[in-house]
Amino acid sequence: MKVTIERSALAKALGHVQSVVERRNTIPILSNVLLRAEGGALTLTATDLDIRVALSVSAVVSGDGQTTVPALALHKIVKMLPADARIILSLVQDESRLKIDAGRYEGSLAVLPAGDFPALRAEDKTPLNFVIPAADLARLFGKARFAMSQEETRYYLNGVYLHPYTEGGAKLIRAAATDGHRLARLNALLPAGADRMTGVIVPRKAVNNLCGLLKGERGDVAVSVFSDGKVRFGFGAGHLTSKLIDGSFPDYERCIPKSNPRTLRVDTDELVPAVKRLSMSASDRTRSINLALGADRLRLTVNDHEAGSALEELSVDYSGDPIEIGFNARYLHEVAAQIEGPVMTMRLSDPASPAVIADENDTSALYVLMPLRV
């Protein structure tokens, strides 16, 4: 095997595939990336047995072949080479090491046989297939993932729930995520063929990796849902295959208040940095921020006997009765950071009820935030 490749292309591909590799591994081959040189391309594949990512990069292939090398080590070496370097990867004669040449740099890494790399188990031959614009899928996952749970006891919340949905005659594909404290719900137009999909829960690690892979992708993503509990996302020159979470996602619609009478409209560019500033004075234990609403005025305060105190006042659009409500500062900041338009709308009922948050420029996105005790 011998291949010549641009440093920038290899670094980008390695950055994606090595993120799948677990840092602490009891199975040595799972710390490695599979390199396959063939037909004018170098294909890099990594897996943790639950997720598998493969990316193909254009290269000059002087000799076909394949091997595996430590993913993290190769990534670190490539990142530290000059930006304009051309890298030559070649197996030495006894195939025990991969030689790395780049200008004045010369090094090598130990390899493990490509035959030891886990093969992809056979999937059913007739999966449910549909195609969705990469921008739509990236938006659905990217704006919902902050609300995914990290509690392993409620494993069915450790991902994004993707399912078809009909609302007011409109056929949609919907992504939802919640950890019990906040909820994100995003809609996009339903792709042809997706109406037959049973709702699936795509796990957190797959969602995060896919968001990175789809960044800047302008084409379509081919989605295949397999009967053995796996999903495959094919895009550009690569694909990601992941096991699905085997569980039932809760009826999240029941958690969304339907008639919060108080409506606050606030400038997003003012609220986001204000909440971030005040959160610096909240302890890691409570993270509490208080919102006091009066006529066209929002007063944000943090009073923490352990960490400190802070306050900031914003001009807002609000004409309802005065109300005080508390939130987790980090959760409020994460929700507000999803708002792309200039104005965030928050619908409130009382200090003990969830707030419904929306982007006036994007009616297909909705967020719910549970309050804290004031």
* pLDDT tens per residue across span 205-255: 999 999 999 998 899 999 999 998 999 999 988 999 999 999 999 999 999
Q: How far apart are CA 144 and CA 97, in angstroms?
A: 43
% helix, strand, coil for the chain, step of 5: 25, 45, 30
Alpha-carbon distance 287 to 260, whole Å?
Answer: 25
What's the rounded Cα separation, in Å, for the pair 238 and 235? 6
Cα torsion angle, 337, 374, 152, 124, sign: negative
Point out the residues of the chain with pLDDT beneath 70.
Answer: 122-123, 285-286, 307, 374
pLDDT digits (tens, 9 = 90+) for 99-126: 999 999 999 999 999 999 998 776 677 8
Which pLDDT does position 194 carry in this prediction?
Answer: 97
Cβ-defined contacts of 94-100 (< 8 Å, 24+): 95/67, 98/35, 98/67, 98/69, 100/74
**What pTM value is reported for the model?**
0.93
Sign of the torsion angle spanned by Cα atoms 324, 329, 335, 336? positive
The secondary structure of residue 194, as a DSSP letter, is: G
- The pLDDT value recorded for residue 191 is 97
Domains, the chain, with CATH or none: 2-116 (3.10.150.10), 128-254 (3.10.150.10), 257-369 (3.10.150.10)
Q: How many CB atoms lie within 10 A of CB 211?
A: 17
70, 31 Cβ separation under 8 angstroms: yes
Contact status, residue 231 vs residue 244, Cβ threshold 8 Å: yes
- How far, in Å, CA of 3 to CA of 14, rounded? 15
Q: Nearest 10 degrees: CA dihedral of 59, 65, 67, 73?
A: -20
